[in-house]
Each structure stands twice: as structure tokens, then as C-alpha cells.
Amino acid sequence: MKDIAFVDILLRFGFIPFSTGMSARTQIIEVGVMSDWLWWRDGVIYQIYPRSFADSNGDGIGDLNGIMGKLDYLADLGVDAIWLSPIYPSPDVDFGYDVADYYGIDPKYGSMDDFHRLLDEAHARGIRVIMDLVLNHTSDQHPWFIQSRSSRENPYRDWYIWRDGRNPHSPPNNWGSVFGGRGWKFDPSTGQWYYHMFAPQQPDLNWRYEPVRQEMLNIFRYWLDKGVDGFRLDVFNEYFKDDQFRDNPWKLGIRRFESQKHVYDADRPEMMELVEAIRLILDEYSQRYAVGETYLADEKRAVEFTGLSRLHAAFDFSLLHSKWSAASFMKTAQYWDTLNIADHWPNNVMNNHDNPRSASRYGRGEKDERLKVAAAFLLTLRGTPFLYQGEEIGMRDIHLNASELRDPVGKKYWPLKVGRDGCRSPMQWDGSEFSGFSSVKPWLKVHPNHTFRNVENQLQDPESLLHFYRKLLQVRKSSKALQRGMFQPITFDPQRLAAYLRQDDSETVLVALNFGRRKVRLGLGPDLANRDWELLVSSKNRSAVGIKNRWLPLSGEEVCILKSWN
């Protein structure tokens, strides 16, 4: 506790201590409940965007056999699970997030046999497989919707959300579409409007209709029976809409969707009961997992969906929007730290297929120092780290001209909004013409920096970002304190320095991160300064621990991780 007192001294010298809600109660629960290794809690999950990962048959689109060929790479990287963005048959208006058959594999990705082989090969390497379930909406090419729109009397009519307009020219209410404009589309042949939260080709399912709910729950069982280990639930908290279809209140914004408070088209109370029903199904199987994409919700709402009888996790996206500063990063860990961790296990995400890459947000030119600081933060926080393909080599977003755009959002709003193609460019395996991703021109442009920024080069360079990620994953894997120990902030200042401990009953890990370019010193209380530390990770070739007179000096943008036995 003396070190905590020392934080007070630091405060007087301008350091701001972290106001931690961590309580003794939380720690006891952790020690009591978390004695066994759990893949989804203690491991690291790697997101694959299959279209852009590896193309095995030379059609310019990534596929399952391509992923299979890279499993050893993933095992060497040290990941414990892969999450595959959707691989079901899809017309690809939203690249797989418009599903035309929940029970199949799109032939462009391979066959069901290929999928089974991938599952077996991944499992043989200790890698779990998470599927992406997109159950808020289907493709408009799904047979259910084709039936549904064919007549008002069709048995599938109520599978989707059909309403009369306010008058022949006005939709049922003011709800918008995330991808722009109204959320309702008029269907002249039956004279009604259907609701689509995303593209008009992605009609929303009517979850209030019992046959839909039953079918959706069957989809879970179908893939669980095949042996998949878990699910990422696409925009799950949007499944239910207001039963009275009330207008959303307006607020200031430019496009319709952003100018509304999403009171009635999202996050309705009915979801909680469904989350519990989903968990009951998962728990019929051993060690299965679900993480929800909590869309439009803040971290407080995300937390409510998690728990022992709810989802295992719900995404907290705050780290995707952090500014480059010690304070901004530390703030993302703050909220979870106030919770009962046994019930609400956090996850940490810095990249995904919908947002500009962290390397483009934080990297300076082609330098990777900052990315090492960010990686060390992500991989030493409490909570399951999610990596996104290419993050480990510092892939940057591609820049496209109008004719090269593929994402519907970019196509609609360019140049006002560039859309999400930037972070979806093909994986950079080597420096060859199509980056070792494919033998032909890929579906989306390869980043020109692939000639030097690629897996092959970074494997040969011990100082590379890839080696740094590998090291961090290895260190995390060998440390229970890093996997599930308590998170104890030491200090952080607004811009540069962040330092914290991860601690369990047997070990203490000290993480010191310098977000700034100039040198800083971390002041340690006597209990910490006088410990017998071992150097675990340094991003600047530090040869020894280097604590002198209670100060740990850090050079610009340095990561230093130390460990001692308690």
C-alpha cells in the first residue's frame, strides 16, 4: 500500500493518479473463480476478414484454404482463437454481412468440407474458431425475403418488418439507415414499406415473430453441432425495434441516422431475455462463447449484456476512438475496473474491419514505435485482446480513388466519407506484386507499402513490430498475472507516461509506457523500487532493468515490462 501513498506524492508533482474502483472484493472473486485457463478469457482472439486474408485458388478473393495455409503463422504468432467475418453465401452488397443462407459456405470461400477441415486443422493447433452471426437482417436475396415480398399473404410475410406508410408517399416513421437516407423502402408490388437498418438490400428480420426466433436459435445449434467454438453477434442489440414504431427524437447532426437519438429503433428491453436464451443454448455445450457487437451503445450498456447468464463479452469500442495520449488510453480501462470482474469480463479492441487502422491513426509515417506502445497496452490490459489481421505488421489504410471503392458507404458518400475499404486491403505476406495474397489482381487494392511492409520481411527482422507482437503474446501466455491478475494503476500523466501493475497471488508485472517522444522517469515507491525485477519486454533494447534511486527512466516511446515474484 506504500506505493499507493507514493502516488499521492506524484500527484503534487503534477502526475494524475488513476481513480481506481478496484476493490478487495473484486480481487477475492478473481482468485476464487478464475483458477482454470479459459480460452476466451485468458487467450488472444484474432479477427480474419476472409476476403482479404489469403487467396488459395487465384481468383483475387481470400478463401478458407488460404486461411488453412496460414494456420501455422497464426499458431506461431500465438493466437488462441480466430474470428471469421461472415463466410456464408452472400451477394456481397455488404461483403458477407448480407447473408443469403445461414447454413452454407459461399463457394467463393470454399465448400463445407473445406470448412470442416479448417475447423479440424485449427483445433489441432489449439486454435478455436468463432463464426460471425449476422441475425439482425438478411440479404434481400435470401429465399425468406424473396417469399416475404412476393405477396402480403405469403407465409414468410411476417418474417420481416412490413408496414403501411403514413400516406402513399411517406414511410411509417422517421427511422433512418446507418448507410444513409431513410430506413424504409417502399415495395410497389405489395404497397407496403420494409425496414432496413443498413442497406436496402439488407432487410431487417422480425424477431418478434416466433418462427423467426426459433429459426435463429437453430442456427446457433447448427454451427455448435459442427464444433465451432463461439460467435460474434453482429449488431445484436438492434434485433428488436419498438413495438409501436414510434418516431425517434431528433438531435443535431448532418445525415438522418446521426441526427436522431436511437431510442426506438435500437437497444430495446426485449433483448435481455433473448441474450439469456442464447446463453442457455451455448451452455448446453462445453466452453462455447459469444461476444456481442454492441452497436450505438456505450461501455456501460455493453456491460449490462454480459454476465454468467448473459453473453460472455460485449465489445467496448472505446480504444478504437482513443486519442494518442497516456490519459486517453488509460481512460478506456477505467470503467471496467469498477466492475465485478467475475461477472463482466472486459475485452479490448484497437482495430476491426469497420474502422481506420490504429497504424493509420497513431503511426507517424512508416515508423512503428508508437504502435509498439499501443500493442503493449492492448496486450497487458485486463480483458481479452482482439487483434485484427495485419495489425501485427502495422498495416496502414489504403487510399482509393472513386473508381476503386468497394464499400457501399464509401461509394455513397465519397469524398465526404471514404467508407471502410481503407482497413480491408489484402494482407501483406510478401513484397511480390500482389503481396503474396493472390497470384492475380485482388478484389481490393494492395497497399503500395507492401514492397517493404510485409510478413516475410518482418519475420527476418528481430526488431520488427511482428516480433514485438509475438513476444507480447508469448509473455502474456506465460503470465497468469497478465491474463487474469488485478489491474492496479500506478500513475499516468495527461500526455506521456502510463504505468500500471498486473498482479496475482504469485507474480507482479509492471508495465511502463512512454507515449511521448522525450525521455520520462517513472517514480516508484520503495516497495516497488526495491523488488527483484526481471526484464520481460523492452522496445528499445534495454539490457537491464535499470531502476536507479526509485526512478525507472524511459526513453521516447519506450515500452518496458518487468516482472517479479511476490
The entry of ligand NOJ, Ca ion, none near residue 499 (CB within 5 to 8 angstroms by kind) is: none
**Alpha-helix residue ranges (DSSP H) falling in 127-270:** 143-148, 210-226
Nearest-Å Rg of the Cα atoms of the chain is: 24
Catalytic residue of the set 284, 433, 461, 463: 284
**Alpha-helix residue ranges (DSSP H) falling in 238-363:** 271-282, 299-304, 326-334, 358-362
The entry of ligand NOJ, Ca ion, none near residue 57 (CB within 5 to 8 angstroms by kind) is: Ca ion
The entry of Ca ion, ligand NOJ, none near residue 61 (CB within 5 to 8 angstroms by kind) is: Ca ion
CB of residue 100 to Ca ion, shortest distance in Å: 19
Q: Which is nearer to ligand NOJ, 4 or 296 (CB)?
A: 296
Q: Which is nearer to Ca ion, 54 or 373 (CB)?
A: 54
The entry of Ca ion, ligand NOJ, none near residue 7 (CB within 5 to 8 angstroms by kind) is: none
Q: Which is nearer to Ca ion, 61 or 511 (CB)?
A: 61
Beta-bridge partner residues of 499: 491, 512
Helix (H) or strand (E) holding 130: strand 128-133
- Tell me the C-alpha to C-alpha distance, in Å, between residue 505 and each of 5, 98, 386, 534, 536: 21, 48, 26, 17, 19
For ligand NOJ, the binding residues (CB under 6 A) are: 94, 97, 134, 198, 234-235, 293, 353-354
The entry of Ca ion, ligand NOJ, none near residue 558 (CB within 5 to 8 angstroms by kind) is: none
Query: Is the bond leading into 356 cis (omega within 30 degrees of zero)?
Result: no
- Tell me the C-alpha to C-alpha distance, in Å, between residue 553 and each of 325, 497, 499, 521, 546: 19, 11, 12, 4, 7
**Does 111 engage in binding with Ca ion (CB under 5 A)?**
no
- Report the 10 Å Cβ neighbour count for 121: 16
User: Strand pairing of 384-388 and 45-48?
Assistant: parallel
**Does 59 engage in binding with Ca ion (CB under 5 A)?**
yes
Q: Which is nearer to Ca ion, 111 or 495 (CB)?
A: 111
CB of residue 134 to ligand NOJ, shortest distance in Å: 5
The entry of Ca ion, ligand NOJ, none near residue 451 (CB within 5 to 8 angstroms by kind) is: none
Q: Which is nearer to ligand NOJ, 83 or 515 (CB)?
A: 83
**Does 537 engage in binding with Ca ion (CB under 5 A)?**
no
The answer to whether 445 and 400 are in contact (CB under 8 A) is: yes
**Does 63 engage in binding with Ca ion (CB under 5 A)?**
yes
Distance separating alpha carbons of residues 78 and 266, to the nearest angstrom: 37
Q: Quick one: which segment of 59-67, 185-193, 384-392, 409-417 binds Ca ion (CB under 5 A)? A: 59-67
Helix (H, G, I), strand (E, B) or coil at 285: coil
Q: Which is nearer to ligand NOJ, 6 or 145 (CB)?
A: 145
Annotated active-site residue 284? The verdict is: yes
The entry of ligand NOJ, Ca ion, none near residue 94 (CB within 5 to 8 angstroms by kind) is: ligand NOJ
Catalytic residue of the set 234, 293, 391, 558: 234
CB of residue 198 to ligand NOJ, shortest distance in Å: 5
**Does 397 engage in binding with Ca ion (CB under 5 A)?**
no
CB of residue 61 to Ca ion, shortest distance in Å: 5
CB of residue 120 to Ca ion, shortest distance in Å: 20
506: exposed, middle or buried (Cβ count in 10 Å: 0-12, 13-18, 19+): exposed
Distance separating alpha carbons of residues 537 and 372, to the nearest angstrom: 11
Look at residues 394, 315, 317 and name the one whose alpha carbon lies nearest to residue 358.
394
**Does 291 engage in binding with Ca ion (CB under 5 A)?**
no
Question: Where on the chain is the footprint of Ca ion (CB under 5 A)?
Answer: 55, 57, 59, 61, 63
- As annotated, the active-site residues are 234, 284
